[in-house]
Structure 1
Amino acid sequence: MEGLPGLRLLWALAALGNAASEIAAETYPPPVTNFSISVKNLCTISWHWSPPEVVNTTCTLWYDSYLGENQEISSNNYRVEEVALNERICLQVRSLCSVASTNPSDAVEMCTLPPEGDPESAVTRLQCIWYNLSQMNCTWLPGKKTPPKANYTLYYWYHSLEKSLRCTNYYMEDQLTGCSFDLHKVNVSSSDKIQIMVTDTTGTIRPSYNVILLNSVKPDPPIITVLSLQNDSLYVEWESSENFESSCLVYQVQVTDSKPKTYRVEEAKSKCYISQASQELSGNSREKNCLVIELTDRDTQYTVRVRAKTSKYCFEDVDLWSAWSPEKIIGQKPDLTFYTITLLSIPIAISISTLLLLLYLKRLKIIIFPPIPDPGKIFKEMFGDQNDDTLHWKKYDIYEKQIKEETDSVVLVENLKKTSQ
């Protein structure tokens, strides 16, 4: 009986040791093992690992993995990500004994290798736009060290494909090189991603990768079906692409009248049904889009066009507007002949009136204020230079005297002849 307290003490010490070991095992679990990495498709990276070899039975394993700043805690011993492989990609994994554990194991890291080739030979500005949910267009610029006349090759993959496909429809757009391929919404959704890789057929340039969320969507332009003037209002009705649900598009209606400096843009938010008369003609009663705009001048010609973009409720709002629809014109264009003649006649009339007024004012001034004689001129004529005047009168007297003498002589000779006879 005397040894009983000693036994109890030994049991207590053993229990404490077991608890301490369990706590230590739970606090610091061993790291994961057999870490491996693989790449499939074009940009799908898969990391796999095995649980730690020695783990306490009370430890429920969780794994804390880091891909850059992207953290994920999961009980799965793998992680799959779609990442553009343009550089070295590394994943770090730590094991935990609980989700809330603050004492993980040491990190184990596994990285991919960067693509081969000179980084400056890879294409730049690789981007893709999904046109009308039916066709994907990808464009890019050549790299600084891309060989001239490089024969590019584009590969693509998304979840509906068993393997990556090669694009065949290449084109040039200014300085951009592009390739387009069919991509229908029936096969993919806006939450899917598409993997793109561009290289050349000879393998001389470094491959360039891109992973794109299918949210960069550009719809086709709408078609204006009805344009009319109703009760001093302009009524516009149009149809959009059938590839989109009615709630996935928003519109802008641009109305420009024939008068200068009048421009107005309205965003259509209302829906309408076609009128009964239109329905009877077309046999179609499906929902359409419309907008009613109040007018200030009915006797004016209006030019209307519409464009669309995807709604933020269905796709990411990247502000990719469609092209404008073909313009439609309604209303009467004012006769510019009258305005032209009026504009030309106004300055002519003003000029003539100004000239007549100036002449009238000059005549009126002469009548009201007659010119006053200059006394200096009068005295100058009376008492001017007498030498010239005296000489003038002397010449006149001599000339007149000579003529008189000659006349008298003739008369005298005639009288003498008569007397002699």
Structure 2
Amino acid sequence: MSSITNLSCLFYNYSQMNCTWDINEQAPADAQYTLSYQFTGKTEVPTCHLTGCCNATCHFRKDKLIHFDIIQICVAESSQHLTKPCCISISPATYYKASAPIKVEVNETEVKWKPPRGVHPSDDFFYQVEITDNSNNVKKIEDVKLTKWIIENRKKSYSVKVRARIDNHFSDSLWSDWSQAVNIEPKPKDYTLLIEITLVITFVALVVLLMFTCRRYKLLENLCQPIPDPERMFKDLYDHHNGDFQEWINAKPLVTKVPDECIAVTLED
């Protein structure tokens, strides 16, 4: 009986496989483990590099990994007590995990991102967007086919993450890890229209108030009195001296009138 359980493997970037497994309590203390794999119809049985007691990483040449083929993966235990290897047979396409979408950015009315980096079995991806309402921490997930999501309500603050999976024609293909979250802040209120309306109302109110004041106190009538024309009142000044006041004054010397002789009158009682 094998002491190895729960063997599982994931494929990444069209060239890498990571496998993990558990060891039960009956495993010998001196046990060491080896992971190997073999494609159907191939005689080669390569081994993989162990990165810990219960995990291993395998690297493939791009022309060696065929995602819709079947690959048999075995973990063998080497110790004084020989046990049966633990093996699984899987299709890499079913257990392929894409990397997370990149360059997640917030534009004016939408969130955009780029597809996962790397070489994948398919360039056709499905996406999910996780939207967290920051006011109450309520989360919802939406399925998206395009590389963008339209922001529904710019009056709220959100936290948004995106993940992807390849379209490998299997309904249970694996989702990538979530991308780093980006925040969507509420759109600032535009007070331009309100300011314009306020200015118009203020202007109209001032005009009405001015008209009422002028009508009430007849200020408009007083302000609009005609300015006297000096040419009409001083014809000689303008007709003979071209409006030169100094010349006009000099041409008309002041004449002092000699008073009549006074005669003394005596009044008798």
What TM-score, normalized to structure 2? 0.60
Match of 1:199 in 2: 76
Q: Is the 8 A contact 1:130 1:217 kept in 2?
A: yes
Q: Is the 8 A contact 1:133 1:219 kept in 2?
A: no
Amino acid at match of 2:59: D
Paired residue for 1:140, among 11, 17, 21?
21
Q: Is the 8 A contact 1:225 1:239 kept in 2?
A: no
Q: Is the 8 A contact 1:310 1:317 kept in 2?
A: no
Match of 1:229 in 2: 108
Distance change in 2, residues 1:322/1:236 (3 Å) = same
Question: Matches of 2:169 and 2:57 in 1, distance apart?
Answer: 21
Q: Is the 8 A contact 1:146 1:205 kept in 2?
A: no
Distance change in 2, residues 1:317/1:145 (3 Å) = same
SS in 2 for 1:165: coil
Question: Matches of 1:326 and 1:186 in 2, distance apart?
Answer: 32
Amino acid at match of 2:151: I
Amino acid at match of 2:97: K
Q: Is the 8 A contact 1:191 1:213 kept in 2?
A: yes
Q: Within 5 A, what are the aligned runs for 1:145-294?
A: 145-158=26-39, 163-172=44-53, 177-183=54-60, 185-202=62-79, 204-214=82-92, 215-230=94-109, 234-244=110-120, 245-247=122-124, 249-270=125-146, 289-294=147-152
Q: Is the 8 A contact 1:237 1:291 kept in 2?
A: no
Q: Within 5 A, what are the aligned runs for 1:11-410?
A: 119=1, 121-143=2-24, 145-158=26-39, 163-172=44-53, 177-183=54-60, 185-202=62-79, 204-214=82-92, 215-230=94-109, 234-244=110-120, 245-247=122-124, 249-270=125-146, 289-295=147-153, 298-311=154-167, 314-332=168-186
RMSD over equivalenced CA pairs, Å: 2.7
Amino acid at match of 1:246: D
Question: Matches of 2:78 and 2:162 in 1, distance apart?
Answer: 43
**Percent identity at matched positions?**
29
Question: Matches of 1:229 and 1:184 in 2, distance apart?
Answer: 43
Distance change in 2, residues 1:149/1:220 (3 Å) = farther
Runs of 4+ in 1 over 6 A off after TM superposition: none
Question: Matches of 2:62 and 2:151 in 1, distance apart?
Answer: 35
State the Cα deviation string for residues 32-63 of structure 1 (Å, max 9, x = none): xxxxxxxxxxxxxxxxxxxxxxxxxxxxxxxx
State the Cα deviation string for residues 309-329 of structure 1 (Å, max 9, x = none): 232xx2533352211101112
Q: Is the 8 A contact 1:199 1:206 kept in 2?
A: yes
How far apart are 1:226 and its partner, in Å?
A: 2.9
Distance change in 2, residues 1:305/1:205 (3 Å) = same
Distance change in 2, residues 1:319/1:195 (3 Å) = closer
Amino acid at match of 1:171: G
SS in 1 for 2:65: coil
State the Cα deviation string for residues 371-397 of structure 1 (Å, max 9, x = none): xxxxxxxxxxxxxxxxxxxxxxxxxxx
Which structure would you say has the larger Rg?
1
State the Cα deviation string for residues 350-386 of structure 1 (Å, max 9, x = none): xxxxxxxxxxxxxxxxxxxxxxxxxxxxxxxxxxxxx
Question: Matches of 1:318 and 1:164 in 2, distance apart?
Answer: 28
Amino acid at match of 2:150: V
Q: Is the 8 A contact 2:38 2:71 kept in 1?
A: yes
Name whichever structure is richer in helix by fraction.
1
Question: Matches of 1:190 and 1:267 in 2, distance apart?
Answer: 25
Question: Matches of 2:5 and 2:89 in 1, distance apart?
Answer: 14
Question: Matches of 1:262 and 1:301 in 2, distance apart?
Answer: 12
How many residues align structurally?
185
How far apart are 1:227 and its partner, in Å?
A: 1.5
Question: Matches of 2:158 and 2:30 in 1, distance apart?
Answer: 49
